[in-house]
Amino acid sequence: MEVAAAVDLRDVEKGIDALTNPRAIAKGLRDLKKPLRVDQRDHAKKAEGPEGRWPKRATKSRKRLLGRLPGAVKVTSTGNSVSAVSSVKWSAVHQEGGVAGRGTKIPARPFLWVSDALHTQAAALLRDAVAGEW
């Protein structure tokens, strides 16, 4: 006995195409810009890095650090990436720690990092952007 079956896979093929649709991915990355900006500013407000609270400051100029660095982060997206970059020349010494002018040793106070909450939000945004094409 012979059995024949016809299966319509057009919807499946459309879904697979959606997974690699550059427009859907680019839209998801554009939608991620605002949450990324909020996430980066939140790190400075909470004065914490991925490993926990920042070390205490030796001076009372913490407000200056918090005021300038978060606002100087430029968030951009391309068709296949989203990035946050600080335009402040001395931001790397705060991010990684090191020696600043006049030999001042500055401990790392990482402010550019991606939180677990943003990871979850990014996955949902990209999933929804691709699923919207399906």
The full DSSP string for the chain is ---------HHHHHHHHHHT-HHHHHHHHHHHHHHHHHHHHHHHHHTEETTEEPPPPSSSTHHHHHHHTGGGEEEEE-SS-EEEEE--TTHHHHHH-EE-GGG-EE---------HHHHHHHHHHHHHHHHHH-
If pLDDT is split at 50, 70 and 90, which confidence band does 119 have? very high
Instruction: Encode pLDDT of 40-66 as tens digits.
Output: 888 888 888 898 888 887 665 555 555
Look at residue 26 and tell me if it is in a domain. yes
Look at residue 84 and tell me if it is in a domain. yes
> Domains in the chain: how many in total?
1
Look at residue 1 and tell me if it is in a domain. no
Look at residue 5 and tell me if it is in a domain. no
- The domain of 123 spans 10-133
The mean pLDDT of the chain is 83
Look at residue 128 and tell me if it is in a domain. yes
pTM listed for this prediction:
0.72
Percent of the chain with pLDDT over 90: 15
Look at residue 4 and tell me if it is in a domain. no
Look at residue 2 and tell me if it is in a domain. no
Percent of the chain with pLDDT over 70: 88
Look at residue 3 and tell me if it is in a domain. no
pLDDT at 70 over 70: no
